[in-house]
Amino acid sequence: MRLIVAVTGASGVVYAYNLLKELKKLNIVIFLIISETAKKIIDVELGVTWREFSKLAHRIFDNSDIAASVASGSFPVDGMIIVPCSMATLAAVAHGYSDNLIRRAADCTLKENRLLILVPRETPLSLTSLENMTKAKMAGAVILPAMPGFYHKPKNLEELVNFVVGKILDILKLEHNLYQRWGTDDDKE
């Protein structure tokens, strides 16, 4: 499997970091794009440089390089995840506005009928953001807000983050054991 992973300027880069680590374990080919704001947030929230963060990918692309291979519908990938997805990127995707590589790659992903997963991490949500989510969903995107569940009784922050990462992997149909699924205890009886 070959995936584009894009990290935009919203809080919650730990979701991207943990996702990249899991995808690497699964031998998924990762094409990474990091926005300029996300580079700063990686340093602030994770205490690592964006260059260290990028080592989890097979190839990294500059977000300003709108002519990069991942900006073409003919580039062979299975899908794209934008995690976290800023409200600006969500709005651009919802309206087909492709002014940088992340947004252009997302537009190509949708036009090629490939899987596009948007992981917004914002609260509260404005009416405009909700409408943009609806438009993006209608265009074919999966909207997967960074909203961890609690039925698996998380014991720490890592388990909360991995719940959301596990949900992303579920949409990709990739096996994992990042959280205990609802009702799996019932299967043991």
Q: What is the pLDDT along the chain (189 residues), one digit of tens a residue?
A: 999 999 999 999 999 999 999 999 999 999 999 999 999 999 999 999 999 999 999 999 999 999 999 999 999 999 999 999 999 999 999 999 999 999 999 999 999 999 999 999 999 999 999 999 999 999 999 999 999 999 989 999 999 999 999 999 999 999 999 998 887 665 554
State which amino acid sits at residue 160: L
Question: Which one, of 97, 91, 141, lies nearest residue 115 by Cα?
Answer: 141
pLDDT, position 182: 82
pLDDT, position 124: 95
Reading the block at residue 84, the tokens are 């976290």
CA–CA dist 57, 150 (Å, integer): 30
State which amino acid sits at residue 110: L
Phi, psi of 157 (to 5 degrees): -60, -40
CA–CA dist 100, 87 (Å, integer): 15
Reading the block at residue 174, the tokens are 């990739």
User: Torsion angle of alpha carbons 65, 14, 134, 139, nearest 10°?
Assistant: 40
- 2-175 is classed CATH 3.40.50.1950: yes
